[in-house]
Structure 1
Amino acid sequence: MPPFDYTPPPYTGPSADEILRKRQQFLNPAVLHFFKKPLNLVDGKMQYLFDENGRRYLDAFGGIATVSCGHCHPEVVDAIVNQSKRLQHSTILYLNPAIAEFAEALASKFPGDLKVVFFTNSGTEANELALMMARLYTGSHDVISIRNGYHGNAAATMAATAQSGYKFNVVQTGVHHAQNPDQYRGIFGSDGPKYARDVDDIITYGTSGQVAGFISEAIQSTTALERQGGFALLTRSNQVLLALAAIFWGFEAHGVVPDIVTMAKGIGNGIPLGAVVTTPEIAKVLACRNYYNTYGGNPVCTAAGLAVLKVIEKEKLQQNAFNVGLYLKQRLNSLKDKYEVIGDVRGRGLLVGVELVTDRQLKTPAKVETLRVMEHMKEMGVLIGKGGLFGNVFRITPPLCFTKEDVDFLVDVMDYTLSKI
């Protein structure tokens, strides 16, 4: 593991076994745990995490793509602490500099007329708000979403989500799911126009011809459609709104400027913070009623958000993610050439997926092997995530301060582990 000049203070709290017992007794029974013996993580610094015994792990999961600057980044921590000492919460009904300064800084990062910011506490809330605004503005209820996407676990966002594992048996209306433009598993492969025609057919045969919007995770869309000019196919409706979730900014890869952008996760570096950015015209649809979010724009959260933006710029983390991400994909593709169990390597920057299969021709999901590799990599000091519809895709989403030395350690550990299965 790369050298790192930090030693956490001794941990004196409850053991992993005791915490697990309390979670099983008092917490939501739907909570999942990674690994046969769940980790008790008690300390973090930049791209590393530490367990109760002080053992260091390379964090290649980043709290599910949430820790952008690094764990406990000193400038983000200082912003949180300093604001907490002054004022933790008031209400959006009063003036406070933290929310105004962050809103201005965030809006300055957007092109065109995307200048109005609504703050929320999560990505689910942001997407719920975006969907409501799209429907109010267009006067239409129908929304187009992409299969295999995830947008949240509330009413409208669950309807927009297209994975059965995240959907409960409750009323979900108004969303039509188009084929996922997945070059690896998609039914049309890399044929972008066919995916475009699928969306066009949904509008023609499944709606009144007027839809409220098209919602997509930007990284999910960086496949076949991107190579065919993005989502320009949606010009058949004059008031279609494009809502994409990303930061700095995924939609730019498609050559389009959406009408609504939602974001969460990395903009707070782990602090509960989400946002919707839209145009002044669209924002007016909420002015006809009372709308506000009690904690949206909380001074501590927005102070953290502003600090995150400053750190990203100061430390050139976008450029680092681009450079290190290229190196990561190169090294992972070398593993793909070496091991038949790796069916696909995909992603952008430091958001990368590695799909395991037991048969490359049939693309049979290697569920058991995926779990086994994760367990062994954890034992060797590397934490990665797992996802995908079949639970066979490694999710590599580390903090943006990840280095090439970290990549080498991660890939070498994966290489060794794959050689043993």
Structure 2
Amino acid sequence: MPPCSFKPEEYKGMSKEQMMEIRKQNCNPMTMKITYYKKPVFIHQGYMQWLWDVDGKRYLDLFAGVATVSVGHCHPKVTAVIQKQLKKLWHTTNIYIHPELHEYCDKLASYLPDPLKVIYLTNSGSEANELAMLMARLHTGNFDIITFRGSYHGGSQQTVGLTANSSYKFPIATSSGCIHTMCPDVFRGPWGGSYCRDSPVQTIRQCSCAQGACIANKHYIEQLEETFATSAPSQIAAFFGEPIQGMGGAVQYPKNYLKEAYKLVRQRGGICIADEVQTGFGRTGSHFWGFQGHDVIPDMVTMAKGIGNGFPVRAVVTTQEIAASFVKASHFNTFGGNPLACAVASSVLDTIREDSTQHNSLHVGTYLMTQMAELRDKYEIIGDVRGKGLQIGVEMVKDKGSREPLPPEAMSEILEDIKDMGVLIGKGGVYGQTFRIQPLMCITREDVDFFLAVFNKAISGYTDRK
């Protein structure tokens, strides 16, 4: 494991047994279900890309609290800003005018292209996406919203309607008017080839397209057109799309898909919404926002997770025209624009720039993906490696020929081994078949080499046992 000079505090809190009993008796019971491991990880402290458990064991964090801690655990620059603001003002309502809110909104707007300049601050990604749904419907006068199968856009009753993954669906009525179209997945979907996506690593599927053409893109756009023809009214409110699916397993689309989809949506009166909850703030490396990699400008952008490096601040950004439609009733958020949250989020933007984390995401992420592709070629059960920057998915299969998902028990076995060797990663995908690697954007090539050795050993050990 790469060296680390930081010394964590000695843990002197409650026992593991006490924590598990409280988790069982007093915490949301879902927390018992989503504990990844047979032997859970009890986290005590974090610093930059590292986490320590209550026993003092160190872990390399390549999941970042689900792509949320962007610049580093307890980053000194952000921590200093938090401490300074805590001594000055924790909270006041945005009925009053305070500098932190306005300084941050001005700064965030400078990172977005025209005409995306009007900012609404919220507390969660689900709230941001639900607010975007409401604004889209008010502005267009239409109701139906299109999104991809396999998508995840939140856990509130409205956003669960947008979400198209049965793992997050409850047997109750959720938001009506949400229509799910085929996800243009060039690895698992019916069409795809070896030149489809904007990624340093392509699929192993063969491609027979003529230069400048993409048969897969053509067919997936036809599926979207069929959705319009069969499942949606003639006029729609919006199209929601992540530039790269997050919970869906880092799924990428053909290069021109979003550009053509946006055109079709706008022809039907809808607005285009980019869900940048996981892809924003430089994570994809080549651009600050994931939508920029598709050469499109959405009408609205929702953002969360990395915006506050783990602090609860989120946002919706839109145009003056759409914002003007949102004054037919009062909208108020008690904590939206909280001075402490704004100070933290402003510091995160400064740290991304000062630490060159976007540049690091591009170069370290590209190195990680290209090295992972070599492991894909080595092992039959690694079906696909994909992504951009530090938004990476590794799809596991029974064999490359069938592309049938590796079973959940096998995924859990490999994940447990990786954890026991000192690395934390995630998993996702419709069938839980994809390892999600979304590190803190401060990781190094030395960290990557350590992870590659761990991952290789875990896969080798699994295949030897089978």
Q: CA deviation at 1:225?
A: 3.4
CA distance in 2, matches of 1:235, 1:370: 38
Q: Does 1:337 align with 2:339?
A: no
1:194 aligned to 207, 219, 228, which one?
A: 219
SS, match of residue 4 in structure 1: coil
Q: Trace 1:95-244 onto structure 2 (pairs within 5 A).
A: 95-172=97-174, 173-190=176-193, 191-220=216-245, 223-228=252-257, 230=259, 231-234=261-264, 237=267, 239-244=269-274
Equivalent position of 2:74 in the other structure? 72
1:44 aligned to 43, 46, 56, which one?
A: 46
CA distance in 1, matches of 2:147, 2:223: 12
Q: CA deviation at 1:304?
A: 0.6
Equivalent pair of 2:252/2:386 in contact (CA under 8 Å): no
2:425 aligned to 384, 393, 397, which one?
A: 384
Q: Does 1:412 align with 2:453?
A: yes
Q: Trace 1:299-314 onto structure 2 (pairs within 5 A).
A: 299-314=339-354
CA distance in 2, matches of 1:222, 1:347: 7
- Give, as a single letter, the amino acid of the residue that structure 1 aligns with 2:233: S
Q: CA deviation at 1:16?
A: 2.0
Q: CA deviation at 1:388?
A: 1.2
Structure 2: gaps spanning 5 or more residues: 194-215, 281-287
Equivalent pair of 1:203/1:210 in contact (CA under 8 Å): no
- Give, as a single letter, the amino acid of the residue that structure 2 aligns with 1:335: L
Equivalent pair of 2:251/2:386 in contact (CA under 8 Å): no
CA distance in 2, matches of 1:222, 1:111: 25
1:331-372 C-alpha deviation (Å, 9 max, x unpaired)? 110111111110111111101011111122222221222111
Which aligned runs of 4 or more in structure 1 are off by greater than 3 angstroms? 221-225
Q: CA deviation at 1:236?
A: 5.6
Q: CA deviation at 1:112?
A: 1.4
Equivalent position of 1:30 in the other structure? 30
Q: Does 1:12 align with 2:42?
A: no
Q: CA deviation at 1:222?
A: 7.0
Equivalent pair of 2:262/2:272 in contact (CA under 8 Å): no
Inter-CA distance 242–387: structure 2 relative to 1 (3 Å threshold): same
Determine what percentage of the aligned residue pairs are the same residue: 44
Q: Does 1:263 align with 2:303?
A: yes
Equivalent pair of 1:15/1:40 in contact (CA under 8 Å): no
Q: CA deviation at 1:156?
A: 2.1
CA distance in 1, matches of 2:433, 2:252: 19
Equivalent pair of 2:236/2:268 in contact (CA under 8 Å): no
TM-score, normalized by length of structure 2? Answer: 0.88
SS, match of residue 288 in structure 1: coil
When structure 1 is superposed on structure 2, of 105-114 and 360-369 the one drifting more is: 360-369
CA distance in 1, matches of 2:410, 2:365: 25
Q: CA deviation at 1:196?
A: 1.1
CA distance in 1, matches of 2:266, 2:51: 49
Q: CA deviation at 1:8?
A: 0.4
Equivalent pair of 1:16/1:38 in contact (CA under 8 Å): no
Equivalent pair of 1:16/1:39 in contact (CA under 8 Å): no
Q: CA deviation at 1:306?
A: 0.3
Inter-CA distance 245–236: structure 2 relative to 1 (3 Å threshold): closer
Equivalent position of 1:364 in the other structure? 404
The number of equivalent residue pairs is 421
